[in-house]
């Protein structure tokens, strides 16, 4: 398989391109606007240094030089701003290695096997390790494979865990799709070995602590440049891991909007350029490594939740290994479902990548951005609306391609039964129930699961959601038993656990896993 990550630009080439893009953006600003823009950069960076206790280093030097240029030496401002852009460009850009990628894909199963094998040999036998057994990859794969030969893909997955990037990377490989460049948090590059592989597997560096516009604009310029050059890219449009466990319903438009910018640049260049296609991707997992931390964060008092979490389960390698090991003992632990591909405005595309309207007719999408003579018309506001429409189409796709698994169904039923027992408590009060209050009647829970399964069958048949659930008789019992068994494998608390005639419910985890079905408008029926 050809990787089709066609570009592997040098730092110099990327520096030049990014500086050109940022220069032209700054040229479009008034003197006052540019001064404010750069002053905000200094202010927000100094604020970050103060908060993080940073007193020296390259970042500090650059920002202080920029402050000096702003206040004392305006003539040097362009060159100092340029230095900062170059520094960010160097920090962000990593070089993909086709060799490393190929080797990693070949060696990953064996390496995992070695990595996950127990230390006391013989006490535990690792089954035949084939990730295909635990990871299901679904969707219009043949169409996507063909499109990847002729188009630049932007893969847009939902986001649950820091393990998602390797998971999607592996799913792309299993599906015969090319690898993608993707942004990975700077914290993931701190380990030199990890950094070596991540950068060569297509990851570029994103420092989410830098919250000023200049950095974000450099990042967007970088993404635009890569797509313009034909690199398949991967963004998490939700911006961060879902804290609540819900499917993303509000997406961030920043990086998503770089697709339309790159497409227009391609059209404007007059040269033969690959068109850009967006591929929704929904990840559904029986267990999520960081579930306990994420839901606790979501339930933190208003204003206390964190956009960047660095001290979660992912930061403990042994926890990650334990988690992966447990996950691979399940029948189906993860479903990666690629959705029907879309154009950059959110219309579906056909086998050849042509946009399709609501009546199934193909049309020329260039007219969205070109006038009658075929010239590209620049209109930032228009493009923002187009990107919003793409975001809405992605959210609809995520709902349709969400895969209900036994842990989701049982947790949803558990949470709803708890709500039924304590109808006067709100969500926050319910998660703070005392341990002796956290239980539901097992028969009631079974009836609730049964009721949910009937509704799910109808919604699956209507194409509004997907499922991988047991079939045959006693489905509710199977789903519940399966979920309880799965929940017993990893978390310090169990979302659900059997105890005689009742089922103990951990409200936080039940809420987190059950939230995966929150958008499906399901109910558990009335208590008998």
Tell me whether strands 403-404 and 466-467 are parallel, antiparallel or unpaired. Answer: parallel
Beta-bridge partner residues of 285: 334
- CB contact at 8 A, 86 and 79: no
The distance of closest approach from Cβ of residue 271 to other proteins in the complex, given in angstroms and rounded to an integer, is: 22
Supply φ then ψ for residue 393, to 5 degrees: -65, -40
Q: Does 355 bind other proteins (CB under 8 A)?
A: yes
Burial of residue 319 (number of CB atoms within 10 Å: 0-12, 13-18, 19+):
middle
Q: Closest CB to other proteins among 389 and 455?
A: 389
| Smallest separation, CB 133 to other proteins (Å) | 42
Stretch that binds other proteins, among 32-40, 71-79, 279-287, 367-375 (CB under 8 A): 367-375
- Which residue, 51 or 381, is less far from other proteins as judged by CB? 381
366 lines the binding site for other proteins (CB under 8 A): yes
364 sits near other proteins (criterion: CB under 8 A): yes
Distance of CA 518 to the CA centre of its chain: 19
User: Do 306 and 297 form a contact (C-beta atoms < 8 A)?
Assistant: yes
Q: Does 371 engage in binding with other proteins (CB under 8 A)?
A: yes
Q: Is 325 in the site for other proteins (CB under 8 A)?
A: no
Q: How many residues form the binding site for other proteins (CB under 8 A)?
A: 22
392: contact with other proteins by CB under 8 A: no
CB of 375 to other proteins, least distance (A): 12
Q: Which is nearer to other proteins, 154 or 345 (CB)?
A: 345
- 250 makes contact with other proteins (CB under 8 A): no
Nearer to other proteins, 261 or 417 (CB): 261
CA dihedral 201, 154, 242, 54 (to 10 degrees): 60
75 touches other proteins (CB under 8 A): no
Nearer to other proteins among residue 184 and residue 345 (C-beta): 345
Residue 232, phi then psi, degrees to nearest 5: -65, 135
Residue with smaller CB distance to other proteins, 2 or 521 = 521
- Identify any residues that bridge with 370 across adjacent strands, giving them in sequence order: 376
For the bound state, the minimum distance from the C-beta of residue 399 to other proteins, rounded and expressed in Å, comes to: 15
If the CB atoms of residues 149 and 379 are measured against other proteins, the closer one turns out to be: 379
Q: Which residues lie closer than 8 Å to 400 by C-beta, 6 or more apart?
A: 339, 463, 464, 465, 466
Binding mask 114-153 for other proteins (x = CB under 8 A): ----------------------------------------
**Residue 309 zone, left/alpha/beta (φ > 0; ψ -120 to 50; rest):** beta
| Identity of the residue, 302 or 364, whose beta carbon is nearer to other proteins in the bound complex | 364
HSE, side-chain direction, 13 A CA sphere, residue 371: 5
* CB distance 496 to 410 below 8 Å: yes
User: If binding is defined by CB under 8 A, does position 358 make contact with other proteins?
Assistant: yes
Is 435 a binder of other proteins (CB under 8 A)? no
Is residue 370 near other proteins by the rule CB under 8 A? yes
- What are 424's two structure tokens? 């006067």
The residues that bridge with 497 in the sheet, in sequence order, are 504
Q: In what order do the strands lie in the sheet with 496-499?
A: 439-441, 502-505, 496-499
DSSP 367: G
Residues that bind other proteins (CB under 8 A): 345, 347, 355, 357-359, 363-368, 370-372, 379, 381-382, 385-386, 388-389
């Amino acid at each position: 398989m050809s990787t089709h990550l066609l570009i592997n630009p040098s730092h110099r080439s990327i520096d030049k391109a990014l500086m050109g893009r940022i220069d032209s953006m700054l040229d479009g600003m008034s003197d006052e606007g540019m001064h404010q823009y750069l002053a905000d950069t200094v202010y927000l960076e100094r604020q970050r240094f103060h908060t993080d206790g940073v007193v020296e280093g390259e970042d500090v030097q650059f920002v202080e030089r920029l402050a000096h240029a702003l206040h004392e030496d305006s003539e040097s401002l362009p060159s100092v701003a340029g230095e900062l852009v170059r520094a960010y460009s160097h920090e962000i850009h990593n070089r993909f290695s086709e060799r490393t990628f190929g080797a990693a894909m070949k060696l990953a199963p064996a390496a995992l096997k070695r990595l996950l094998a127990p230390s006391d040999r013989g006490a535990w036998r690792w089954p035949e390790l084939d990730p295909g057994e635990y990871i299901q990859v679904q969707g219009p794969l043949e169409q996507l494979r063909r499109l990847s030969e002729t188009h630049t893909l932007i893969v847009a997955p939902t986001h649950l865990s820091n393990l998602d990037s390797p998971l999607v990377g592996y799913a792309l490989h299993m599906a015969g799709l090319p690898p993608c460049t993707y942004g990975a948090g700077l914290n993931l590059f701190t380990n030199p070995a990890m950094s070596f592989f991540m950068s060569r597997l297509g990851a570029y560096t994103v420092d989410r602590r830098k919250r000023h516009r200049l950095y974000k604009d450099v990042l967007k310029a970088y993404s635009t440049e890569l797509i313009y050059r034909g690199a398949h890219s991967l963004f998490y449009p939700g911006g961060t891991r879902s804290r609540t466990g819900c499917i993303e319903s509000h997406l961030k438009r920043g990086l998503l909007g770089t697709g339309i910018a790159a497409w227009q640049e391609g059209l404007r260049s007059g040269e033969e350029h690959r068109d850009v296609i967006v591929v929704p991707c929904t990840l559904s997992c029986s267990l999520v490594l960081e579930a306990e931390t994420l839901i606790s964060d979501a339930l933190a008092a208003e204003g206390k939740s964190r956009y960047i979490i660095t001290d979660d389960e992912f930061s403990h390698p042994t926890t990650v290994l334990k988690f992966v090991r447990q996950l691979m003992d399940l029948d189906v632990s993860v479903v990666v479902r690629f959705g029907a591909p879309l154009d950059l405005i959110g219309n579906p595309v056909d086998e050849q990548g042509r946009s399709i309207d609501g009546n199934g007719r193909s049309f020329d999408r260039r007219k969205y951005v070109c006038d009658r003579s075929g010239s590209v018309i620049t209109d930032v506001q228009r493009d923002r609306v187009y990107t919003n429409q793409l975001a809405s189409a992605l959210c609809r796709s995520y709902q349709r391609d969400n895969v209900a698994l036994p842990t989701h169904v049982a947790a949803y039923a558990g949470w709803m039964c708890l709500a039924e027992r304590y109808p006067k408590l709100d969500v926050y009060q319910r998660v703070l129930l005392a341990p002796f209050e956290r239980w539901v009647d097992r028969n009631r829970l079974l009836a609730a699961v049964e009721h949910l399964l009937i509704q799910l069958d109808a919604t699956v048949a209507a194409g509004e959601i997907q499922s991988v659930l047991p079939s045959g008789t006693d489905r509710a019992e199977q789903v519940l038993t399966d979920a309880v068994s799965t929940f017993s494998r990893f978390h310090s608390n169990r979302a659900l656990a059997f105890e005689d005639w009742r089922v103990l419910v951990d409200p936080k985890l039940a809420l987190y896993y059950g939230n995966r079905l929150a958008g499906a408008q399901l109910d558990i029926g009335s208590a008998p």
